[in-house]
Chains A and B, each alone.
Chain A
Amino acid sequence: MECKTCGFEMKLPDDLEKNEIIECVDCAHEYEVDNVDPFVLKDAPECEEDWGE
């Protein structure tokens, strides 16, 4: 799948699951798996005020 930010051809693992975060190894753009079948990626969510450790 092509990274929408940099055009790099991303090699995706076979075992991705819904809501999993993946990163383009070329430009570090982060995606979230929105659906597995059919496979859909969306931009990873922005950090919210109370997110953290």
Chain B
Amino acid sequence: MNIGIVYTIIRKEEKLIIDALEKKGHKVIKIDDKEQLITLSNDDNSEEFGFKIVLMRSLSLQRSLWFAKYFEEKGIKVVNDYETINTCGNKYLTTLKLINNNIPSPKVIMAFDNNSALKAMEKIGFPCVLKPIVGSWGRLISKVNDIDSAQALLDHKKAINSSTHNVSYVQEFIDKGNEDIRTMVIGNEVIGGIKRVSDNWKTNTTLGAIAVKLQMTNELRELSLKTAKAIGAGVLSIDILEQDGKYFVNEVNATTEFRNSLEVYGVDIPEKIVEYLEALNNEEN
């Protein structure tokens, strides 16, 4: 099959997926999201890309959305699709989906100016977690221990002067220790999971957390599948917090990374992604 891959840069993940596709004889058409144009015109003679499926690996949330919508409008299947990317890329939308599907997740209060954000934090209780609604890799996520640090953080957010940062996503602090759980779901299959262990409360591997083996349980498997079903089919990684034996789904990622944890998963993730794309391609034909 011919398959498009939208990318920003080619990291180990994209390289492995491209290699896995090419090893199986598939033709990969690479689309650089910085160079590719989107022409919108009634006179447009519908650009032909030569593929029916495109894998979205753009690092940019905005460009992922624009390209996903564009390809979907052209009848091309996008993995993950626009709605899924949009939901995963916005913590507010993710939380709405989770609670509407009775999936346990930390309590959240949204606030839209500094005074109401302070009230939200007092209502949730300290410590709490302040997050940008859009963002990844733990950027600008803060554990807020008291009202003084809350005030300082909100002042700094205001100084950024961005419409995104004028919104406060205040989340209940889950006392998970310095670790969390990440599971990966591809289509209807939970392909595995890892624990991410850090030397502080943030557990992003991009910030130095280490992936260690996870004992996958039926409970985690069912929670992961239920979450994936609620968010959207595709290739998803699900971040789960554990407190006193109870699980909370924290976030869901639509452009999953695995270069720091491939061996710990113990699963050939690029191959699993290729198999999923092949199955979709067969459905399309």
Measured CA separation A52–B62 after assembly (Å): 11
B11 touches A21 (CB 8 A): yes
A21 touches B9 (CB 8 A): yes
- Any chain A CB within 8 A of the CB of B60? yes
A32 touches B9 (CB 8 A): yes
B10 touches A53 (CB 8 A): no
B134 touches A53 (CB 8 A): no
B61 touches A50 (CB 8 A): yes
With A51-B60, A53-B256 already in contact, the answer to whether A19 and B7 are too (CB < 8 A) is yes
Chain B residues whose CB sits within 8 angstroms of the CB of A18 once the complex forms: 10
A19 touches B15 (CB 8 A): no
Partner of A20, one of B9, B135, B136, B137: B9
- Any chain A CB within 8 A of the CB of B8? yes
B136 touches A51 (CB 8 A): yes
Chain A residues whose CB sits within 8 angstroms of the CB of B257 once the complex forms: 53
Measured CA separation A49–B59 after assembly (Å): 10
Measured CA separation A21–B10 after assembly (Å): 6
Chain B residues whose CB sits within 8 angstroms of the CB of A32 once the complex forms: 9
A-B pairs under 8 A by CB, number: 52
Measured CA separation A20–B19 after assembly (Å): 13
Q: Which residues in chain B, 232-280, are within 8 Å of chain A measured between CB atoms?
A: 237, 253-257
- Select from chain B the residue with minimum beta-carbon distance to A51: B59
- Any chain A CB within 8 A of the CB of B32? yes
A52 touches B137 (CB 8 A): yes
24 intermolecular pairs with C-beta atoms under 8 Å apart: A17-B10, A18-B10, A19-B7, A19-B8, A19-B9, A19-B32, A20-B9, A20-B15, A45-B8, A47-B137, A47-B139, A48-B60, A49-B135, A49-B164, A50-B89, A51-B8, A51-B59, A51-B136, A51-B137, A52-B59, A52-B139, A52-B253, A53-B237, A53-B255
With A19-B32, A20-B15 already in contact, the answer to whether A50 and B60 are too (CB < 8 A) is yes
- Select from chain B the residue with minimum beta-carbon distance to A32: B9
With A19-B32, A20-B15, A48-B60 already in contact, the answer to whether A53 and B253 are too (CB < 8 A) is yes
With A19-B32, A20-B15 already in contact, the answer to whether A52 and B136 are too (CB < 8 A) is yes
Chain B interface main SS type: loop
Known: A48-B59, A52-B136, A53-B136. 20 other contacts (CB 8 A): A19-B8, A19-B32, A20-B9, A20-B10, A21-B9, A21-B11, A45-B8, A47-B139, A49-B134, A50-B60, A50-B61, A50-B62, A51-B59, A51-B60, A51-B136, A51-B137, A52-B135, A52-B139, A53-B237, A53-B255
- List A residues at the B interface (Cβ < 8 Å): 17-21, 32, 44-45, 47-53
- List B residues at the A interface (Cβ < 8 Å): 7-11, 15, 32, 59-62, 89, 134-137, 139, 164, 237, 253-257
